[in-house]
Structure 1
């Protein structure tokens, strides 16, 4: 049945020639979703010839697509989007940072803050200058953008709570990106998904399935939802701006194994950049990653409530971030706009 099913799926999802594993990943997602459904929701079919069974599966998938409500079809669309983005990143060339120059990474974020009866979104910008030699001095500038969006309470209540207070710019530096030095050699840190080091990145597998398994292992016991936490870890890594192109592609392909992942918005604009949002809904919120499906560029992330929380209504965006990268000649220098 697998050969016939693959042929049917290929008609729905043309597989990029350079990615021999793409169709296998789509098939895995579709069959896994069908298998994980509650027993009372599964259709009990009689034994049929393999070719007939494959056609029935394909017809079911097409019928679900026409109804617009079937998880398998949504998963095929997710896989197509991620694999197209991965293909683009595979073709991308990450040129080396010239000696004496710096990789400039600018992250613009909106964070939610709560006090009894009040809540708001507050903007920050973090700019990092990473030297060509990562064991040298890094530089960080953290600034309050002054952006304020009231989510709950009156303007007077927000002001009275102190949530709208402005913070002063913070300039930090440290070898190997260790801006808060502790005992020991800062360049000997093993690294993790949130603070990836060269050693950590080098030992991550580039095979999508093995990378997905590694994410499952590293996220075990973290977060409120195991699937959502995988997406959070991938987003954390991509936001760092330190992930090489081959690993960015592998991360996108690894996400095709994540069954609940769905396209939550086909075109969303963050900081003037348009992309596709893919998200997982769990624990009262929707966690999204936003990518350019054509270039594969990571644009950012967004978090929305799917249930009322602390007086803030469902549907409210309670966090977002975008990332931009460039090469500059010295610390504290910004790229030309």
Structure 2
């Protein structure tokens, strides 16, 4: 900038121009997309993937005495990104209604159904889940630990970071889309039927697509069994506002496929699900307000047993 430029003159020229706000930016961008049919409009930038070098592998289950943390495998990922296909969400649609099931998928999340497989348990064994959380970059002191029996109708155990224990037959919670055996058995395996059930359930919410996504995230993060997990990914394929991107990483450095929904509610925000490309299990999440989490799995021989890292 020239030294003799009078900044007061410049300020005077733009004195009646309002400040750019987040909403003004989104409104202007929406008008530009509508006028140009999206041609030449640059997508909003994604967070660059983390470049940690460590990549774990889901270990095979050997003898009953063997326990190991089951990390994510490294697979040759051919799933293409959807940034050019799924729009970035703005504010909730004016109708506040999730539309009927589209004739064709809106993104490629449904392809993850072909990758889904369960970790096998022998009679008497437990699936161990360890969820570690971060808040604004600060790691919580202890994880949440959950033990799920092979017979999922039997007693589950969860221990919070504060050390509080909860026991419950068949899982926890009474909500319609919480991860427990009652819901695992009740929810339909047909994608169209499950989509319609979700559509009815989220119809009164301000942003039904986002609410449906968060309901599915809750089920997937609770180790939903293989057939239901596959259906949930197929339903995600019909939700608007989603992008599916390979080559992501969890907070602890494992390779993942990202399923992300973005929106604007006064500030830019998103929910991102990180999926193991080998098993379709959820291994991480980026939530709203700078929250992050990772999930690791193991097979153990008794309730309360913590496997070595």
TM-score in terms of structure 2 length:
0.60
Please give the alpha-carbon distance, in whole angstroms, between the structure 2 residues aligned to 1:137 and 1:193: 19
How far the C-alpha of 1:304 sits from its partner, in A, is: 4.8
Q: Which residue, 131, 137, 149 being the options, matches 1:107?
A: 131
1:207/1:171 Cα in 2 relative to 1: closer, same or farther (>3 Å)? same
Instruction: Kindly indicate whether residue 261 of structure 2 is the aligned counterpart of residue 280 of structure 1.
Output: yes
Equivalent position of 2:299 in the other structure: 327
Aligned partner of residue 303 in structure 2, secondary structure = coil
Alignment length, in residue pairs? 222
Please give the alpha-carbon distance, in whole angstroms, between the structure 1 residues aligned to 2:175 and 2:153: 13
How far the C-alpha of 1:198 sits from its partner, in A, is: 2.1
Equivalent position of 2:150 in the other structure: 132
Equivalent position of 2:115 in the other structure: 88
Instruction: Kindly indicate whether residue 190 of structure 2 is the aligned counterpart of residue 207 of structure 1.
Output: yes
Deviations 1:119-151 (A, max 9, x none): x745251101123344443322222xxxxxxxx
Aligned partner of residue 299 in structure 1, secondary structure = strand
How far the C-alpha of 1:191 sits from its partner, in A, is: 5.1
Equivalent position of 1:74 in the other structure: 85
Deviations 1:95-114 (A, max 9, x none): 3x4332222111112246xx
Deviations 1:132-172 (A, max 9, x none): 344443322222xxxxxxxxxxxxxxxxxxxxxxxxx4141
Matches within 5 A, 1:34-183: 41=34, 69=43, 73-75=84-86, 79-80=107-108, 82-89=109-116, 92-95=117-120, 97-111=121-135, 121=138, 123=140, 124-143=142-161, 169-176=162-169
Aligned partner of residue 74 in structure 1, secondary structure = coil
Q: Which residue, 276, 280, 289 being the options, matches 1:296?
A: 280
Instruction: Give the structure with the higher percent helix.
Output: 1
How far the C-alpha of 1:258 sits from its partner, in A, is: 0.9
Please give the alpha-carbon distance, in whole angstroms, between the structure 2 residues aligned to 1:105 and 1:232: 20
- RMSD between aligned alpha carbons? 3.6
- Which runs of 5 or more residues in structure 1 are unaligned? 1-36, 44-59, 113-119, 144-168, 180-188, 306-317
Equivalent position of 2:222 in the other structure: 240
Instruction: Kindly indicate whether residue 202 of structure 2 is the aligned counterpart of residue 219 of structure 1.
Output: yes
Instruction: Give the structure with the higher percent strand.
Output: 1
Please give the alpha-carbon distance, in whole angstroms, between the structure 2 residues aligned to 1:254 and 1:226: 14
TM-score in terms of structure 1 length:
0.55
How far the C-alpha of 1:72 sits from its partner, in A, is: 8.9
Deviations 1:214-237 (A, max 9, x none): 222223334x53222111111111
Q: Which residue, 148, 168, 177 being the options, matches 1:193?
A: 177
How far the C-alpha of 1:302 sits from its partner, in A, is: 0.5
Please give the alpha-carbon distance, in whole angstroms, between the structure 1 residues aligned to 2:118 and 2:272: 26
- Which runs of 5 or more residues in structure 2 are unaligned? 1-29, 45-81, 87-103
